[in-house]
Every structure is written in C-alpha cells, then in structure tokens.
Amino acid sequence: MDTSTVSAECFDVVVIGAGISGIGAACYLTKEFPSKKIAVLEGRDNIGGTWDLFRYPGIRSDSDLHTYGYEFKPWRHESAIADGHLIRDYLRETVEEYGLERLIRLRHEVVSADWSSDEALWTLTVRVTDDETVNELTMKARWVYGATGYYRYDEGFTPKFEGRDEFAGDILHPQHWPENYDYSGKKVVVIGSGATAITLVPAMTADPGAARHVTMLQRTPSYIMALPRVDRLSLQLTKLFGPERGYALTRRKNVWRDQGFVKLVQTFPRFGRAMIRYYTKKALPADFDVDTHFNPPYDPWDQRLCATPDGDFFQAISDGKASVVTDRIVRFTKDGILLASGRELKADVIVTATGLNMRFFGGVQQSVDGKPVVLSDTVTYRGMLLSGVPNWVVALGYTKSSSWTLKVGLTSRYICDLIKYMDAHGHEVAVPVPDAGMPTRPLLDLTAGYVTRSMDTLPRQGTGLPWRMLTSYSQDAKLLKGALFDRHLQFSARTSAPVRSEYGKLQTTTSQQQGGAR
C-alpha cells in the first residue's frame, strides 16, 4: 500500500456523508447557491448511507416515505413503508435528477477538521482509498455540513456473551450481513427486541428460503404496532390532485397524525398502554401471553415504538413460524443459548440484533485553532449548530415523534438562509455562544441502550430555546419562520474574528453582530 499527499482545494461548503441526509443537504445547497463550490465526501464505496450498508433480510424503513422522503421529491411507490432497495433507488434517482454526481467523491473519508480563525476556514484531512493506494489530502471549506448519521458504520454493538466461541453454528450481526447467506431450514434465534429484530423475524420466516423456525429472544419487551404498508388515502389524494400535490397533502397529513399520536400517548400513558395492548392482543392467538412478552416496563415513546407493516411480525407468530422468549442469557452453548430460567434454546444460527454504537460526525477529530473539540462540552443551537464551533452544521433528525429527514430538511433550509444573510452582510463566521453557567441536559430524550451507552460522548442541549432540542416538526417549522438568529449567534469577518480565550468561550470584538431578523 502506497501513501502520497495531494494539495488542497477550497470549497464554500463540504458535506460529509452521502446518505439520505447528505444527499438532501446537497440538493438544497446547489439549488440555492448554483455558483458556490460544493463537495460531498463519502468514505464508503457507494452512496446511500444506512440504506446501502444494511443488507439484512427485510431491511426497510420504520417511518412512512411520505415524511421520510424529501419534500422536493415525491415518493411514487405504492408502499409507504418501503424496503431498503426501494429507498436506495430513490436516493440514486435524486442524485441523478439534481446532478449531484459531479459533487460526490466516494472513498473520501474525513479524518480530521481544524478551524482557523485567522483564515475563517476549516482544514479537512481526507483519506482517499483506491484499490492499491491511500492518498491523504487536505481540503479547505468555509462551511462543513456533518451529515454522517449518529452511529459507527464499521461496527455494531454486541455484548460480551460467555461461551460465544463454543457455539457450533453461525453468529451474525445485522450491520454486517453476509451476502447471499442461506438460512433456509435452519433454527434461528434473534437476540433483541428493537426495530431490527422486529424486521428480521417475519422476513426470515417468509418463503422462499424460509428458516425452519425463528425465535426472538428478548430481555425487555418493546411496544410494537401494526401499520398499513400501503397508504390508501395517499393513493386517492394522488389520483385527485396529481403526484406533487397528493404527496404534499399526504406528507402534511402524516406529520400531524404522528405528532398527534405521540402527544396523546405521552399525555395519557395509561391509555396509550391499554390501546397498544388491545391491538397487540387482537393480532395474536387468544392464548398468547401478551403481558409477559409485550408489556414493557416503561411508558409508550420513552423509547421509539416499533412498526410492523400489515402486522407481519404478529402474523409470523400466529402462523407458528416464529416465537418470542422473554428471559436473560446465561451463556452460549455448543447447541444454542442457556437462559436464566434453565431452558436451552437450540439454534443453528444466532443473530445479535443488539443495537448500534453511536458516533457523531463519523469519528472526525475536530479542533478549533488547534484545540480539540470535546463534543460533550458543546451545546446544540436550534439542534443545528454547536456552541463554540464556527461554521459547522449538525444534521440531527428526529428520533421520536417524526421522521428523521423532516428535521434535516428544516436544517438545510435554515443554513441556506443563514449563508445568504452572511453573504449579504459581509460576515464570514457564525458561532453560537451560550450564556455562562447555562444549565444543560442530555441531547436525546431516549432510554434505548445505544443512547444511554454513548451519552457522555454526545453534545448536550439546554433547557430553553434556542438551545433546547425540539422533537416536533411543527414546533421547529414555526421557530424557523421567525427571526433567523438571536443574540446567542455571533457573526464576524475574518479580519475581526472572535478572540478565543479558551475553547467554547469567546471574547467578543466590537465588529461582531449579535441578534437580528431575516
């Protein structure tokens, strides 16, 4: 392997990541700024992010594509809850329609990013991998848009299981599913009860190539609700108003539906529990022990609900092709898994659907004027920027009540407006600065294991606006219709950049502008 160095290029905006967030961001940016120099850097071989990486059986969205898709590109497939390959096709179409091929650079992994207040530029160190060579190059950027998602692409989370090496069968993780893996006729145990497990179970019991039997082994139950795969009302709206208008109306309908449902069950959790239990019990055989296997010890939406399209998960259980076991793992054995109850689950294949490892910005090492950025010391501004980190955008979508990309779309529109304002007023630098001693709290209000394991490595949020992360699309949209910025977002030109006394704290100069409107 050879290593060489290539000289720097300078860009107005560098987007890190060519998944659904990065592609969407590039569409907004190129439309609003056709003359600006923009690049999209992707460390992997293909675009698509999550939808290219994950190839396990049944991989699909957990949100409807009318809200998960882009506002500017209607979702035209009949299935609202879409399989992964359909989402990949949608993203490829978007790239082609918006001419993004010229911007996207594959196998370009951003390793580090250092901000220079003197230059008002980010210097990115990029590792470019070819078949036989690794080139390390530098790029300069006025803005960086971090659209890398929130988890590690190179590894999923797997707990340490005693006796793992003794198991005679195959152990798989959904994040790294072997191509064309044959599980037909085999006894499969899926460890986990999250969205991935709920997807895998019915997919692995479906013909052709069905497993002999699939057991979902869970320590803690999840809330699961059946959703229609096809949105019949959306089809009618499309017939009546055409694809563009029909898509917009369906999108609005689904936003309000999702927000209303979440608000209802969070306001009346006992009612929410009872309602979900009723529909779960109705979908399963009369003698099924719902209260053991589908009665979580937390309220609805303390963790995100899992969707089962057309109730396929429940149907697999009703058909006898799948089962659920709620117990604790003692150890792996040669033939399967020994449980705390003393039971041994026999298995030919074990799938560890045990979650993700969170990591912001793809592990890029950030620094400001040579001082490393500690993400847990930063606070999100409007859920889009980071305190003390100039000209760096955070693509952090909704994780509870709405689809991820709804927030990413708002973020992209906001950043376009902000850059326009800065261009018009001669500003080169924008940095959020919180009040001294401002109270903070964890960034994500979720109790899922992958979140709690990583809480100390994530940015934080404040307790009041503009530092508090809103979880409602309508609230965010309303906020962004107001003033473009407030006194906490400080601007400067390169020659009068803020004087930095220590990381995250600024000594302002007389040329800085605070507060303002559109």
Mean pLDDT of 286-297: 96
The predicted structure's pLDDT at residue 516: 57
Structure confidence at residue 507 as a pLDDT band (50, 70, 90): very low
- Give 158-229+240-354's CATH code, choosing from 3.50.50.60, 3.40.50.2300, 3.40.630.10, 1.10.150.530: 3.50.50.60
Nearest to 309 by CA among 1, 59, 485, 482: 59
Kindly tell me if the per-residue pLDDT of 399 is higher than 70: yes
Structure confidence at residue 508 as a pLDDT band (50, 70, 90): very low
Q: What are phi and psi of 39, to 5 degrees?
A: -135, 145
Task: For the chain, give the mean pLDDT.
Answer: 91
pLDDT tens figures, 99-158: 999 999 999 999 999 999 999 999 999 999 988 899 999 999 999 999 998 888 888 888
The predicted structure's pLDDT at residue 449: 63
Share of the chain above pLDDT 70, in %: 92
Q: What is the pTM of this model?
A: 0.91
Kindly tell me if the per-residue pLDDT of 443 is higher than 90: no
The predicted structure's pLDDT at residue 301: 85
The predicted structure's pLDDT at residue 153: 81
The predicted structure's pLDDT at residue 160: 93
Q: How far, in Å, CA of 233 to CA of 225, rounded? A: 19
Task: Identify which has the larger pLDDT, 5 or 437.
Answer: 437
Cα–Cα distances in Å, from 224 out to 3, 101, 221, 292? Answer: 50, 39, 9, 14
Tokens for 328, please give them: 């604790």
Kindly tell me if the per-residue pLDDT of 496 is higher than 50: no
Kindly tell me if the per-residue pLDDT of 357 is higher than 90: no
Which architecture, in CATH terms, is 2-153+358-484+492-516?
A: 3-Layer(bba) Sandwich (3.50)
Q: Which residues touch 165 (CB under 8 Å, ≥6 apart)?
A: none
The predicted structure's pLDDT at residue 327: 98
In this structure, are residues 55 and 84 in contact, taking their beta carbons and an 8 Å threshold? yes
Residue 164, burial from CB neighbour count under 10 angstroms (0-12, 13-18, 19+)? middle
Tell how many helices (H) and how many strands (E) occur in the chain: 12, 30
Mean pLDDT of 272-282: 96
* Residue ranges covered by each domain of the chain: 2-153+358-484+492-516, 158-229+240-354
Cβ neighbours of 296 (radius 10 Å): 17
**Is the fold of 2-153+358-484+492-516 the same as that of 158-229+240-354?**
yes
Share of the chain above pLDDT 90, in %: 79
pLDDT tens figures, 172-211: 999 999 999 999 999 999 999 999 999 999 999 998 999 9
pLDDT tens figures, 417-435: 999 999 999 999 999 999 9
Kindly tell me if the per-residue pLDDT of 512 is higher than 50: no
Strands 108-116 and 365-368: parallel
Minimum mean pLDDT among 233-242, 442-451, 491-500: which range? 491-500
Kindly tell me if the per-residue pLDDT of 397 is higher than 50: yes
pLDDT tens figures, 12-59: 999 999 999 999 999 999 999 999 999 999 999 999 999 999 999 999
